[in-house]
Amino acid sequence: MSQSNVITITTEWKKPRPSIDHDNAEFWAGLKEHKFLVWKCKTCGTSYWPKAYCQNHDNEPFASNMDWVEAKGTGKIYAFNIHHTAFNPGFKEELPYYYALIELDEGPLVSSTLIGDRRPKNIYDIGQKVEVVYEDHPNEGFTIPKFRIID
């Protein structure tokens, strides 16, 4: 990666907090280590996000044929929209913000926010390559994954 893909923010978090639970705790722990994890099938290699049973065949009990593995952290814009209204007051300072569906190189779709100097403008930006940026919030104890456009 050409520039640092870690941002540290120490101001107070005013948005809804991420809902971290039993099924996604490992994913959020990975983000704090600056790893983007996907849920991968050990039988056929298909990746999922969030956690799911593999759709390609029968699964072992407790999804023991599945595991969290590190993804490349790159993908492409699948869809995006530009928000000019803050539906939660915590987003007001960032207007307009760019909400996107990212198709990871491993296959799964994830939703995130696009940041950085280059923002998508129109339909021709669909398919534009992106990479993950880890936004550390040390005072809050979590890291938020965001994405930015790369060449």
Contacts with Zn ion by CB under 5 A lie at: 41, 43-44, 46, 54, 56
Inter-residue contact 85 to 119 (CB < 8 Å):
no
Nearest to 48 by CA among 58, 57, 38, 56: 38
6, 35, 74, 91, 102 from 13: Cα distances, Å = 17, 22, 26, 10, 24
- In the complex with Zn ion, the residue whose CB is nearer, 41 or 102, is 41
- In the complex with Zn ion, the residue whose CB is nearer, 33 or 60, is 60
- In the complex with Zn ion, the residue whose CB is nearer, 8 or 56, is 56
Query: d(Cα 87, Cα 106) in Å, to the nearest integer?
Result: 31
Least distance CB 51 / Zn ion (angstroms): 13
- In the complex with Zn ion, the residue whose CB is nearer, 68 or 142, is 68
| Contacts (Cβ under 8 Å, ≥6 apart) of 103 | 75, 76, 77, 78, 109
- Compute the residue count for the chain: 151
Least distance CB 52 / Zn ion (angstroms): 10
Inter-residue contact 19 to 50 (CB < 8 Å):
no
Least distance CB 93 / Zn ion (angstroms): 43
Least distance CB 69 / Zn ion (angstroms): 13
Least distance CB 38 / Zn ion (angstroms): 13
